[in-house]
Amino acid sequence: MNLLSKISMAVALVAMAACTNNSALDDTNAVNLGGSAGTGSAADPSSPAYFQQAVGDRVLFEVDQSTLNDAARATLLAQANWLLENTDFAATIEGHADEQGTREYNLALGARRANAAREFLISRGVAGSRLKVVSYGKERPIEICSEEACYANNRRAVTVLAGGLTG
């Protein structure tokens, strides 16, 4: 399929880019490929805090897009590796949109974004049964200005850990 070939290309790119890409929002520059101790702000590398801050819990998207750019793929690869190491955790991937666009369309767009992240994690070996998706459309912005600087951070897919496998 189209998506699969895109993903395998993405994986090749990520392998080269992983060392230099950081997660989109965090100041920490750590991408932890091996799942061993990293330099994140949370001391315990198997903690959700470490996942959130050091691995990076979110990826960002271009306007109207749900394709994963290099930075997004690097972050998701690190997420996949963390999830493969820390098998007690499940995750819900939240897809979000900026406020430009109607409520209904943004719900559908958020679903596309969350699913793009989920598909990537599955392609790296994370069991689909551990990964749920939900779209919030434009209902839950993290930044509230009506400028591209805010919009860019609101167009996101966030991997939210749940403490243990559910269903």
49-78 footprint of another protein as x/- string (CB under 8 A): -----------------x------------
Q: Is 148 in the site for another protein (CB under 8 A)?
A: no
Specify the long-range contacts of residues 9-18, CB closer than 8 Å, at least 24 apart. 10/68, 10/73, 10/120, 11/73, 11/77, 11/123, 11/124, 13/70, 13/73, 14/70, 14/73, 14/74, 14/77, 17/70, 17/71, 17/73, 17/74, 18/74, 18/77, 18/78
By CB under 8 A, tell whether 146 contacts another protein.
yes
CB closer to another protein, 56 vs 137: 137
Binding to another protein (CB under 8 A): which residues in 119-138? 119, 132-136
Which residues of this protein are in contact with another protein, per CB under 8 A?
Answer: 66, 92, 99-105, 107-109, 111-112, 114-116, 118-119, 132-136, 139-146, 167
